[in-house]
Amino acid sequence: MKNKKKAALLIALGILALCAVIYAVLIFLEANAPSEGGYGTIEQREDGITVVILTEIAGDSEVKTIRVVGLADAGFSDDPAVEELLNANLYEFLLWGGFTREAFDAEAETPEIDYAIVGNYISVRAYDTEYTPGAAYPVNRLRTIVLNLETGEYAGWPFDYLRMDSEQEIDALQSAFTSGSFVQIHPETPVEGAAEELAEALGDSAWRDGLGFYLTDDSLGIYLTGLPHAVGDYWVFEAKYSDIEPLLTRKLLDAL
């Protein structure tokens, strides 16, 4: 009888905790709902984190934003300020282009985002489409950010996750592209010479403008943006962590 009561109590507490999370999410959605409308989806993850993806609509454009709730429940941080900072950084990143980029006289929208939680990091990808008046076609762009779930802060540069401290390490990374360890996933039709050009960009000590990275559950992605529309606007290559393990830093290996 005692065990049954204990089990019932635990179930009740679990339901209350879930209700509290859902209530917090609904409050967020209401507080951040755009004036012209929007809608959201809620994902309750097994690790205790709740992820809210909100689509904000303005005119014919839409921008997706992401909100993370439950860092304390997932064991990342008990400090509410950390969760607040994390979400502020995510919101600022995703609305970087806004609905209108006046400096470029262009309208931008983010119709798709994707994310992965790898260890204590969250990696978010934003796929933007930019419309410039008079242009023959829109321009597509990929932007990414990696944040630390324990601090809410930015979680470093590509060379924090890839060994790039010496010429030998850079040579090994470039060889991973030319040997096929990194596979092109965008555009769908592989571009001839793309792997070699991206490998060359990796050798630039200034980390070529437009070059970025992201993390997924099982792979590391490297991409190059700002390319001609005829060749896909941007190129994306991914490699399984297991295939490039010697190229990964301890910081990333400890998170896997």
Among 57-66, 84-93, 185-194, 234-243, the range scoring the smallest mean pLDDT is: 57-66
Q: What is the mean pLDDT of residues 1-29?
A: 53
Q: What pLDDT shows up at residue 181?
A: 95
Quote the pTM value. 0.80
Cβ contact 227:141 at 8 Å? no
Asked if residue 153 belongs to a domain, the reply is no
Co-location of 32 and 139 in the same domain: yes
Asked if residue 27 belongs to a domain, the reply is yes
Co-location of 221 and 140 in the same domain: no
Asked if residue 137 belongs to a domain, the reply is yes
Residue 35 reports pLDDT greater than 50: no
Residue 48 reports pLDDT greater than 50: yes
As for how many domains the chain has, the answer is 2
Q: What pLDDT shows up at residue 54?
A: 82
Here the CATH number for the domain that contains residue 17 is 3.30.565
E strand map for the chain:
38-44, 50-58, 61-69, 100-101, 106-118, 121-131, 139-148, 183-186, 211-215, 219-224, 235-240
Decide which of 93, 121, 148 is a domain's last residue. Answer: 148
Co-location of 50 and 172 in the same domain: no
Co-location of 209 and 247 in the same domain: yes
Co-location of 248 and 141 in the same domain: no
| The pair of three-digit structure tokens given for residue 85, joined into one six-digit string | 């900072």
Cβ contact 117:57 at 8 Å? no
Q: Which domain holds residue 130?
A: 2-148
- The per-residue pLDDT for range 135-181, each reduced to its tens digit, is 777 888 898 999 999 999 999 877 789 998 888 998 999 999 989 99
Decide which of 94, 120, 148 is a domain's last residue. Answer: 148
To which residue do tokens 């755009």 refer? 34
Q: What pLDDT shows up at residue 18?
A: 52
Co-location of 176 and 220 in the same domain: yes
Q: What is the mean pLDDT of residues 27-56?
A: 70
Decide which of 148, 181, 214 is a domain's last residue. Answer: 148
Using CA atoms, how far residue 207 sits from 135, 170, 199, 210, in Å, is: 30, 12, 11, 9
- The per-residue pLDDT for range 113-142, each reduced to its tens digit, is 899 999 999 999 988 877 777 777 788 889
Asked if residue 45 belongs to a domain, the reply is yes
DSSP per residue, 9-78: HHHHHHHHHHHHHHHHHHHHHHHH--TT-EEEEEEE-TTS-EEEEEEEEETTEEEEEEEEE-TTTTTS-S
Co-location of 29 and 135 in the same domain: yes
* Beta strands at 106-118 and 100-101: parallel, antiparallel or unpaired: antiparallel
Co-location of 163 and 143 in the same domain: no
Co-location of 144 and 199 in the same domain: no
Co-location of 139 and 17 in the same domain: yes
Co-location of 236 and 123 in the same domain: no
Question: Terminal CA-to-CA distance of the chain, rounded, Å?
Answer: 43
Co-location of 216 and 136 in the same domain: no
Q: What is the mean pLDDT of residues 215-222?
A: 96
Q: What pLDDT shows up at residue 104?
A: 41
* CB neighbourhood size of 85 (10 A): 17
Give the closest residue to 202 by CA, choosing from 179, 170, 238: 170
Cβ contact 185:127 at 8 Å? no
Asked if residue 235 belongs to a domain, the reply is yes
Residue 29 reports pLDDT greater than 70: no
Asked if residue 72 belongs to a domain, the reply is yes
Residue 9 reports pLDDT greater than 80: no
To which residue do tokens 């119709």 refer? 111
How does DSSP classify residue 163? -
Q: What pLDDT shows up at residue 223?
A: 93
Is the backbone peptide bond immediately before 187 cis, with ω within 30 degrees of 0?
Answer: yes
